[in-house]
Amino acid sequence: MEAIQATKLDDRPHGALQHASKQLFNRDDDEMFQNWDQYIAFLRHRDNHTREIGLADRPEIFVSPQDTLELGTKDGSTYDMNELSFGQLCGKAKAPKQFVNELSPILAASVLNERLFSQYNNGTTVMNVLDTNGLATIRAFYTQKYSRMASATIAERIREVAEPMGYVPAGTLAGQRGGMPMMNDQASGLYAGQNDEFMFIANEKSGFDIDGETFYHLMCLWNSELALKTIGGLTSLYRFICGNHQIWGSRDSIEIKARHVGDGPQLVLDALCRVLEGYDKYRETNERMAKGRIAVAKNTEFADTRDRVQERLTKYLNKKRATEALPFLDDPTGHPQNPHSIYGVVQGVTRYSQTLQYAGARRDLDDVAGRIMADGVGF
């Protein structure tokens, strides 16, 4: 990625840009993880207790002593089923799940065995089994063509690439720059359920100045080892992540998806890692340019007198705002040599914005500071 191509700015979240917000509201607390260590430990524990078993012989459904349906294989092994795997089994038998649930356990077992006998394809079915607390539970059935990639493997790779660059779980950034409260302080942006995972990460270590505005970069990745047909990711520049994880002011958004077939999952993972690395290189270039801009701005006068500074500010702000911003130009920590320089005025306006009560007014003033810099420096 040599440069970011200009695209239409989407001020309102839509489509894939709403994925993170939907996850926030649709996940239970026990599916939310506050940091990478907790998240990966959960996924790795699950993967370490997961095994795939090829069904070389026709299975049999029987009723357990607890009057539940279990699956038995020719070698004498028995397995519980969860909601997903039971629904898949009913689908293989072409017996509606709701209909089977309304039957007595003995009759349900008989129906499934009768139907499975006619539908079973020898040697093509794989069982994904989770062993926990002495129980072997079938998580899902799939064919040998299904390319399962463990969620732990994906999370570890993304963290390895992203964390050194400054990416963090995006929920920890939500609402911060706008002074907005987080909707749920448990929701860091790392989610995992019984079968799936969702990662929402962002980097606000430094922004990208494009067309006089500052943008940051985020990435979402979603995967199901079992239930979804695809693995996917979203990469986008953005202005702001709201407290409810809505993404505002996005541009250069790209969605990447592939089916769980062949190298599909690995290709998506590799592509997203390349995007992260590409943005990191672009960030380095942008930072070098920003340092050059700052050097020029520190040595270029905005105006030669205080009255002229105030007069020029009224081209960007109303008279009241321009007058109120003026005292903030004199902070010696920001620009000790020349408070009337472009850099001094920009810093003063930015400091003034931080004293305002409303997030919208703060953002407006920050935008003004960006325009003053862009107009004055010219690159």
Do 170 and 272 lie in one domain? The reply is yes
Residue 67 and residue 181 in one domain: no
Q: Band of the pLDDT at 7, cuts 50, 70, 90? A: very low
Tell me, what's the pLDDT at 195?
A: 82
pLDDT tens, residue by residue, 127-147: 899 998 888 999 998 888 888
Per-residue pLDDT of 254-263, as tens digits, reads 899 999 888 9
Q: Do residue 180 and residue 114 come from a single domain? A: no
Whole-model pTM? 0.71
Indicate whether 10 belongs to any domain: no
Task: Answer yes or no: is 172 within a domain.
Answer: yes
Sheet of 78-81, strand order = 50-54, 125-132, 135-143, 78-81, 69-72, 60-63
Convert the pLDDT of each residue in 235-254 to its tens digit: 999 988 988 898 888 888 88
Name the residue type at position 305: T
Listed ranges 9-23, 96-110, 289-303, 363-377; the one with the highest mean pLDDT:
96-110
User: What whole-number distance in Å separates Cα of residue 39 and Cα of residue 33?
Assistant: 5
As a whole number, the mean pLDDT across the chain is: 84
The verdict on 228 and 277 lying in the same domain is: yes
Structure tokens at 270: 């590799």
- Per the model's pLDDT, the better-predicted residue between 178 and 101 turns out to be 101
pLDDT in tens, 293-328: 677 777 788 888 888 888 898 889 898 988 888 888
Q: Residue 301's pLDDT is what?
A: 86
- Residue 249, pLDDT score: 86
Q: Do both 162 and 262 map to the same domain?
A: yes
Number of domains, the chain: 3
3-class DSSP state for residue 327? helix
Helices 264-298, 342-353: inter-axial angle, 10-degree rounding: 120
What DSSP designation does 50 have? Answer: E
Task: Return contacts of 104-113, CB within 8 angstroms, 24+ apart.
Answer: 105/63, 105/67, 105/68, 105/69, 106/63, 108/61, 108/69, 109/61, 109/62, 109/63, 109/69, 112/61, 112/69, 113/60, 113/61
Q: How many whole angstroms separate alpha carbon 52 and alpha carbon 144?
A: 10
User: Residue 229 belongs to what H/E stretch?
Assistant: none
The answer to whether residues 40 and 54 belong to one domain is no
Report yes or no on 3 lying in a domain.
Answer: no
Which whole-number Å values give the CA distances from 147 to 196, 225, 234, in the listed order?
15, 9, 21
Burial class (CB within 10 angstroms; exposed 0-12, middle 13-18, buried 19+) of 241: buried
For the segment 203-227, what is each residue's pLDDT rounded down to a tens digit?
998 888 776 678 999 999 999 888 7
Contact status, residue 31 vs residue 193, Cβ threshold 8 Å: yes
Residue 192 DSSP code: E
255 and 305, same domain (yes or no): no
In this structure, is residue 29 part of a structural domain?
yes
Domain boundary, last residue among 143, 163, 179: 143
Over residues 160-185, mean pLDDT: 84
**pLDDT above 60 (res 86):** yes
- Residue-level pLDDT at 50: 92
Range of the domain at 65: 49-143
For residues 104 and 117, state if they share a domain.
Answer: yes
What values do phi and psi take at 80, rounded to 5? -75, 165
User: Would strands 135-143 and 78-81 be described as parallel, antiparallel, or unpaired?
Assistant: parallel
Distance CA 148, CA 238 (A): 32
